[in-house]
Every structure is written in structure tokens, then in C-alpha cells.
């Protein structure tokens, strides 16, 4: 299933991996801020979250790294959503 389909079904947990100051400047309503530099230490938290997980950041680079880290650590059903603004546009258009 594509990220867009997950967002349209409104079943995804959205994780924003930007820094807290970036998140404070704007974010997707209902998303959770977990900065990239803490992802590796919080794998247990991610495993407990409702799936699927959609990772977002400013442009898709950090969310791609977070997705790769989590998949390598055995977290399933995690997707790189790319930039938060694009994901937000999809969500608000629903």
C-alpha cells in the first residue's frame, strides 16, 4: 500500500523526525515529534505504536534514514512519507 493510500484511509501513525524547534514552527496535526537522533534509542517505543508508521521530515532525507533504521531493527510496516508539508496537503485535502 502506498503512503498516499495509508493517509487517505487515515490509519497511519505519523512520526515527524525533525528537531523540536522545527516541529514547533509547523507540523501535521496529530503527528508525534521524535527527532532522528533519538530514533535508534526508541525502537521499543516504535514497536509498540499502532501501525502503519509514516515518517516525515522537511524534505524526506531524515525520514528516509529513520525508516531504514527502524526496518533494520525489525520494526515492520514503516514508510517514508517524505516532506511533512506534502503529507499535510494530502491529509487536509481529505
Q: Which of 14, 15, 34, 57 is catalytic?
A: 57
Q: How far is CA 64 from CA 18, 36, 94, in A?
A: 12, 10, 25
Q: Is 57 a catalytic residue?
A: yes
What are the residue numbers of the active site?
A: 57
Amino acid at each position: 500500500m502506498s503512503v498516499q493510500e495509508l493517509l487517505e484511509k487515515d490509519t497511519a501513525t505519523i512520526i515527524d523526525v525533525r528537531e523540536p524547534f522545527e516541529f514547533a514552527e509547523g507540523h501535521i496535526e496529530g503527528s508525534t515529534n521524535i527527532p532522528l537522533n533519538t530514533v535508534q534509542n526508541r525502537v521499543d517505543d516504535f514497536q509498540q505504536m499502532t501501525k502503519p508508521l509514516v515518517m516525515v521530515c522537511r524534505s524526506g532525507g531524515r525520514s528516509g534514514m529513520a525508516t531504514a533504521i527502524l526496518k533494520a531493527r525489525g520494526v515492520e510496516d514503516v514508510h517514508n512519507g517524505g516532506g511533512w508539508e506534502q503529507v499535510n496537503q494530502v491529509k487536509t485535502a481529505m
